[in-house]
Structures are given as structure tokens and as C-alpha cells.
Structure 1
Amino acid sequence: MAHPIALAPMGGSAGGALAAAVSRGGGLGLLGAGSGDREWLARELPILAAGTGNPWGVGLLTWAIDIATVERVLDCNPRAVMLSFGDPSPFAERVRQAGAALIIQVTDLEEARRAVDLGADVIVAQGTESGGHGARNGRSTLPFVPVVVDLAAPVPVLAAGGIADGRGVAAALALGAAGALVGTRFQATAEALVDPSIATAIVAGRGQDTERSRVLDIARGSRWPAKYTARTLGHPYLDRWRGREAELAADHEARQAYQDDVARGEVPPLPVWAGEAVDLITDLPAAADLVATLAAQAEDALNRAGRR
């Protein structure tokens, strides 16, 4: 990596073209493989491998995979495998045996201690400002990252959550992190594997419009563990069911109504995952150019801080 910037392996949207572009730009591109769907991997992995000669990796949802999924990914020779959300213990040693760097994302100190014990090569400390899924009762990035840095030393830590420009990258470095894992900002790029309406919503979005909730996971019939809520932009079903999650979960007709509304185009087919720093996103650049921009902004910010 020429720059201390990694792509968050956002399920579905961090496809092969986006991960390749980030690696080409000098960051670390991480494919958002989610549960390791065979057809999706068969389509996106060749795009990634052909798109860059630089190191790249694959991110997996720990709660949604088995060892066979990990083996399929390792057969493609990634330089790194990132495990997020759940117990990485059944998979950690296999990743290390394959010679891939083991990256473990953590959302609290218990998970951080486990990651150290498992021999993680890199730990991602995710603050609650992050878009998409994260800890229901997580801690903010600013206080959480340095605690994990101290706990994990000398293991390098990447900061995640609410980082959408170079000033955020500089802040991560000032907190003692080795770099930043960036998600929402990369959804609004030319190569992101998202519907154009999602990229447009992110550019127009405001941080105060984001909300962390389980409502949309319940309405969608998602199997995400209750420990991890999702931060999204506003949605009609959030307004309708806020604070009534148990009622929604027990109401089959309401969940069917959600599917019917999606089919009629009355609500978007997917929530718009977005972090609190969404205000800082105002354009749709090429991802490799964005890496360079973030790095230059970070250097600028650190130089300014040094002069002060």
C-alpha cells in the first residue's frame, strides 16, 4: 500500500472493479464478498484479479460463512482476508496457514482482545458512526480507536467509522492508527457496484438524516444478528416502525407489505447504507483518483496541524 487507506468490504457494493481501482490507486482494495455467494465471487473475483497487479483482499461476514467459504476465497490467493461481525475463531488459523494477512474488524474491547489472542495481523476498530452494520451499543470512533491501538500494540490498527475525507484519515493517524478503512465515501465512486440512485442519495445525504436501527433488517427478513444494527439514510419503514421492532418481527403481514412495496417501486430495493460523514461527499470520482485525493488531503491536514 502506498497510502494508509483501505476500502471497506461493503457487501455487494465493493465489487471487483471498485476493489481493483482502490488497489491500483495505492490503497488496499477489499472485495465485499459478504456470505461468499459462489456466483457473485465467480463474477467479481476475476474482475478484481485482472484489474490490478497490486495487493488486494476479500472481506467476509463471519456470522454468515463456513470453512468451505473461506477455502473458496483462499483458492484465489488474496493477500488479505478480513473477517467481520461474529466469532472469527473457526477461520483465523486457516487464513494464516494460507499465507494471507488476517484482518479482524472489532466493535468493542472484548472483540479486540479476542482478535489479539487469535493473532490478527491487522485489527479494524469500527466506531458507531460507520455506515451499514455495526454494534448496537458501539463507541464513537474518536475515543474507541486509541483504546484499541493501546490494547493491540504492536499489531497495527485501522480506524473505521465516519471517515470520508483526508482530514478523517489524518485524524486516524493522529489517534495512533496505521490508517483508515473507508466505506461510504467509496460507495459514491464511478466503480461502486450500486444502483445510480444510491450514489445520488449519498451525495445528497446529510449526517443528521442517518439512523442506526434494526427495523430494515427485520422488514427485509435479513438474518443479521441482533447485536449489529445498520446505519442508513431515512426510509419510510423507519418512520413507520421506529421503536416497534418486536412488533414488526411478529407481524408477518407487515413484512410482506414491505416486500410488496419494494416490488411496486414504492420503497427502494435496498436501504441506503451511509455513515455520519455523508455530508462530506459531494461528487462521484473515479476510485483510484479518490485514493490519491484522500492521501493528499491527509498530508495537508497533518502539515497544517504540525505548523500549529
Structure 2
Amino acid sequence: MKQLLDTPFTRRFAVSHPVVLAPMDRISDGRLAAEVSRAGGFGIIGAGYGDPDWIDAAFDAAGNQRVGLGVITWSLLKKPALVDRILDRNPAALFVSFGDAEPIIKAARERGIPTIWQVQRLDQAEQALKAGTDVLVAQGQEGGGHGMDRGLSALLPAVRDAAGKETIVLAAGGLADGRGLAAALMLGADGVMMGTRFWASVEANGSEKAKVALTKAHGDDTARSSVFDVARGLDWPSQFTGRVVQNAFSRPWLEDPAGLSGAAHKIQKTYEAADPDDYSVRALIAGESLDLVNTVQPAARIVENTVREAAALLARAPDFVIG
């Protein structure tokens, strides 16, 4: 597909389309990241909590496609040796989020590797800019998985203003089609990062049952909480909650957040005993954009449809201007 949109992001990273794969933990593996890059977008492997062997296998699966790698900052900081191992693979960019990433940014910059820092607050954006990150991702609370509580439509232009004209800014959270891309560009972004839409792709590293469940769920079914962090025994910093499709297992605890920690052992035992594809118990991580995700599609088609729709909408922009 020929290039239809030109932004500072496409120029800086030498890609055709300003569409980025969110580094969803293990869902965004080497195969999916490579397919997004092959389609002209920018694929990022989701390394999550940092399993060295899995990371190596993901890079190997990506082959000769240029892909980035995303990490959970607070987890990676507990494994300093892994930082060098990741950088030795020379990713097309290193993506960080959820914590003080300054040491990781510094290490990447010393290697000449571009950096992408996802933020949920303006003070985080300021810290990232001072650290010299190449790209900021403004993440709205609408997104699936971990985040905070600011909506994208107000956060994004504020991050754009803070970043100035020189720093590249991407938008994330609740974006799943060309309407989201067009709107994000108008709000000041240079591209979008999408997760939930690519989770429901042919190449995503997940079961078919999970992907079908995504297409049948709705944004109203999701909520932010720490229930599934407790269930999985993950010690996430309290300011970051996870947006997940709620189910019979999690809903009672939404009404009793104070009781979560006291019942942690019971919750974990029930969760671990469930079949991995039993989504009446297990976590189906997804964002509010589920209402826009009705089919499982090849990743390349998702990239192309998103860009075509955005380009068509932007071409109509003069229709709204008088004179």
C-alpha cells in the first residue's frame, strides 16, 4: 500500500504509516510485530516483565524486520543485566512505561537506540523530556491494560504543548480505526499506538477463543481495577490500574476493593485453578475501543484500513471550513 500520510514519526522512523503496535505483554510477539512493520507501520515486541529467553525468541521470530521492544519500567529496573541484553539486540526503538525510566533511556541513548516513553500525566511528560526521550506516547485511561485515569482528548493536546514542535508525540488509549487516527492527528499527535485492535488480529500471540471473546465484548464491559493484579500475584505500583473485561470472578471485588489484599491468597488460588481460556475467571485485557473491534483480521489489513479511513476523513476537512 502506498504512503498516504506524512508525519514527523513516519519520517523519523522511515515507515510508511503512522500506526504503531502497542507492546502488549507477550501478545505482541515477534511474529505480530514483524507483520505490522512489514505492512508499513511500526511493530513493537511486548517484553512485559522481562523473560530473557522469550525476548530472544521474539527477536528471532521477527527476522530481518525492523521492530522495537517495549518493557515495563519498574520490572526491568529490577533486572539491570537484562537492559544490556535487550540493547545488544539493537531494537529499532526501546519503549518504556510505568516508572522512572531515566537510567534505561540513558543506556539506550548511549547506544544510539531511539527511545519511546509512554506517559499518563504531564509531570511524567516533563520528566521524559528532560531525560531526552525521542518520542512521547500520551496514554489515555481508555486503553486496555495498565494506565491511569486521564482521558486522551484532554491529555494529548496538553502533552503536545509541553513537548513543543520538535519532540514526536503518539496517541494511545481507545483508538482502533481511522477515525481515531484522524482525530489524534488533529489533537496534535504524529501517529497512534493501538493495542486492542491488534490483539484481535490473526497474528497476535493468543488463543482463538480469546480473540473471538474480544469481538463479542464491549467497552462498557471493561473497568479499571487492581483485581487481576492481585489474582496474578503481580505487585504493581498502586497508581497504575488495569483495564480488563470484567467477569463473574472480578465483579464482586470491584464492590469490595478494601477486601482485596486480605483475600489475596484465596483469589490467587481460584484464578490459577481456572483454565487459561475460561474468561469467566481469567483476565481478558482490552480497552474501551472494543465496540469498534468486531472481527479478527490480519494485522496488515488493520494497518491499511486505519490509514485509508484516516486519509479519506482528513481529505474532507476543507468541507467544514467556510470560504
Give TM class, smaller chain. over 0.9
Match of 1:158 among 152, 155, 170: 170
Amino acid aligned to 1:11: D
Q: Deviations over 1:205-237 (max 9, x none)?
A: 111111111111112211221111011112222
Match of 2:200 among 188, 194, 201: 188
Figure out how many residues of one structure are paired with residues of the other and give that number.
Answer: 303
Alpha-carbon separation, structure 2, partners of 1:118 and 1:70 = 17
- Secondary structure of residue in 2 paired with 1:34: coil
In the TM superposition, residue 246 of structure 1 has moved relative to its aligned partner by 3.1
Give the corresponding residue for 2:73: 62
- Secondary structure of residue in 1 paired with 2:274: helix
Alignment of 1:1-308 (within 5 A): 1-50=15-64, 52=65, 55-65=66-76, 66-135=79-148, 138-153=149-164, 154-259=166-271, 261-262=273-274, 267=279, 270-308=282-320
Alpha-carbon separation, structure 1, partners of 2:287 and 2:251 = 19
**RMSD of the TM alignment (CA)?**
1.6
Amino acid aligned to 1:57: G
Structure 1 runs (4+) deviating above 3 angstroms are 263-270
Amino acid aligned to 1:111: Q
The answer to whether the Cα contact below 8 Å between 2:39 and 2:303 also exists between their aligned partners in 1 is yes
Amino acid aligned to 1:295: V
Return closer, same or farther for 1:169/1:221 CA change in 2, 3 Å cut-off.
same
In the TM superposition, residue 49 of structure 1 has moved relative to its aligned partner by 2.7
Unaligned runs of 5+ in 1: none
Q: Deviations over 1:256-288 (max 9, x none)?
A: 442354159765674111111111111111112
The answer to whether the Cα contact below 8 Å between 1:3 and 1:295 also exists between their aligned partners in 2 is yes
Alpha-carbon separation, structure 2, partners of 1:27 and 1:268 = 34
Q: Deviations over 1:56-107 (max 9, x none)?
A: 2000000101332221111111110000111101211111111111110001
- Secondary structure of residue in 1 paired with 2:95: strand
TM-score norm. by structure 1 comes to 0.94
In the TM superposition, residue 38 of structure 1 has moved relative to its aligned partner by 1.3
Alpha-carbon separation, structure 2, partners of 1:3 and 1:16 = 19
TM-score norm. by structure 2 comes to 0.90
Alpha-carbon separation, structure 2, partners of 1:86 and 1:206 = 30
Alpha-carbon separation, structure 2, partners of 1:292 and 1:217 = 35
